Amino acid sequence: MNKPLFMKIVDHLSNEFSFFRQKKDAAGRPGLSGLQKCTAAIRLLAYGTAADAVDEYLRLGDSTARSCLEHFVEGIIYLFGEEYLRRPTPEDLRRLLYFGENRGFPGMIGSIDCMHWEWKNCPTAWKGQYTRGAGKPTIVLEAVASYDLWIWHTFFGPPGTLNDINVLDRSPVFDDIVQGKAPKVNFSVNGRDYNLAYYLTDGIYPNWATFIKSIPLPEGPKACKFAKYQEATRKDVERAFGVLQARFAIIKNPALFWDKAKIGNIMRACIILHNMIVEDERVEKTQYDLSDFQHGDGHGSSHVSQNYSTDMPSNIADMMGTRKKIKDKQVHQQLQADLVEHIWQKFGDEED
């Protein structure tokens, strides 16, 4: 994290929350500054150490450091959660569709997968629910990431005994589409029109119209080429998980908190900070011309409709119809076949 970005966070927290303002004790001596408290919290997130590890460097005791961490993550979620954990806007969708089309996948808006965070201090009564096999208790995070490692969707909290399909059954990832609150996406592949954007997934996910998987045992040059590009592009979410854990070792190490709500706040705050760093390090972030994202490179076209409502949900009949479209296996098979042809036409002449 760059220093200007960190100082921006410190200023916002100091202005909005009295906990981060420097106060005087009964003897008139100045207490801990907001910079000290935020530095202690960010060090605990970044290094994943015990709470008393910052005592020598910042003169904070064990309980004070934990209090700083808890207030810090709550402040990050309150101040920046709405902006940096948002669903894609029409402008975001245009950019995602543009880059997805350039990579050979018209209509693709990201990759979806799950990761597990070990819970060291899981209550004994819950260990059977959160432990799979002979492993350790874990909590599952479902996320959608794009080409630039921005995390667009998070669903954290299911027990570690669940697999990706069980988590998907609980996930709100398609709620906006089902309720008619999401922007309409239209695109064409291999001369055929589609109206539901999709995610790239691994093999465990079901054959839905909104998921495109690789071919497990590809036969022939077209299937091999498609499998190569699908598996390479799907690694975006794996890379996002790796970068998230590398930036915040507290997620990589076993969780030491007892309270699951506090663990959830830490995960959400780390994802928000990750997205803030991604935006801060995006060199071309001020050079995007959204008019360029209306169409691709001639091999396909994508369009995002501005006519949608975020206030009035659809009726139950529309919701059931949309859910049926999302889970349509025939559309999934047709879209995958069209993408195989599209990838071959776009990249078939390249040498592997």
pLDDT (tens digit per residue) in 178-227: 887 788 888 999 889 998 999 999 989 999 999 999 999 888 899 999 99
pLDDT for 312 beyond 90 = no
Q: In terms of residues, how long is the chain?
A: 352
Helix pair 62-84, 3-16: axis angle to 10 deg: 100
pLDDT for 285 beyond 60 = no
- The pLDDT score that the predictor gives to residue 311 is 52
pLDDT digits (tens, 9 = 90+) for 10-20: 999 999 999 99
Residues contacting residue 308 through CB under 8 Å, at least 6 positions apart: 180, 181, 182, 183, 184
Q: Where are the domains of the chain?
A: 3-84, 90-347
At residue 290 the predicted structure's pLDDT band, cuts being 50, 70 and 90, is very low
pLDDT for 287 beyond 50 = no
pLDDT-wise least confident of 22-31, 74-83, 271-280: 22-31
User: Beta strands of the chain (E only): which ranges?
Assistant: 108-118, 138-145, 151-159, 185-189, 192-194, 198-200, 211-212, 301-304
Euclidean distance between CA atoms 321 and 200, whole angstroms:
23
- The pLDDT score that the predictor gives to residue 297 is 42
Question: What is the rounded (10 degree) CA torsion for 282, 286, 288, 291?
Answer: 150
Return the closest-CA partner of residue 269 out of 2, 4, 9.
9
Euclidean distance between CA atoms 301 and 186, whole angstroms:
8
pLDDT for 309 beyond 70 = no
pLDDT digits (tens, 9 = 90+) for 163-192: 999 999 999 999 888 887 788 888 999 889
pLDDT for 284 beyond 80 = no
Euclidean distance between CA atoms 292 and 284, whole angstroms:
14
- The pLDDT score that the predictor gives to residue 299 is 43
- The pLDDT score that the predictor gives to residue 165 is 93
pLDDT-wise least confident of 228-232, 282-286, 341-345: 282-286
User: What distance, in Å, lies between the first and last C-alpha atoms of the chain?
Assistant: 37
- The pLDDT score that the predictor gives to residue 29 is 85
User: Rounded mean pLDDT of 246-262?
Assistant: 92
User: Rounded mean pLDDT of 305-316?
Assistant: 57
Residue pair 230/111 in contact (Cβ under 8 Å)? The answer is: no
- The pLDDT score that the predictor gives to residue 282 is 79
The amino acid occupying position 110 is: G
pLDDT for 291 beyond 70 = no
- The pLDDT score that the predictor gives to residue 298 is 40
Give the bridge partners for 144, in sequence order.
Answer: 112, 153
On the CB side of 177, CA atoms within 13 Å amount to 20
- The pLDDT score that the predictor gives to residue 296 is 42
Euclidean distance between CA atoms 305 and 196, whole angstroms:
12
- The pLDDT score that the predictor gives to residue 295 is 46
At residue 26 the predicted structure's pLDDT band, cuts being 50, 70 and 90, is confident
Q: 3-state DSSP call for residue 30? A: strand
At residue 301 the predicted structure's pLDDT band, cuts being 50, 70 and 90, is low
- The pLDDT score that the predictor gives to residue 8 is 94
pLDDT-wise least confident of 257-261, 305-309, 345-349: 305-309
On the CB side of 314, CA atoms within 13 Å amount to 17
Residue pair 309/318 in contact (Cβ under 8 Å)? The answer is: no
Determine which helix (DSSP H) or strand (DSSP E) holds 335, and give its type and residue range: helix 329-347
Percent of the chain exceeding pLDDT 70 equals 90
On the CB side of 94, CA atoms within 13 Å amount to 15
- The pLDDT score that the predictor gives to residue 89 is 87
Return the closest-CA partner of residue 263 out of 250, 276, 274, 275.
250
CA distances from 204 to 112, 167, 342 (A): 11, 12, 24
User: Rounded mean pLDDT of 25-51?
Assistant: 88
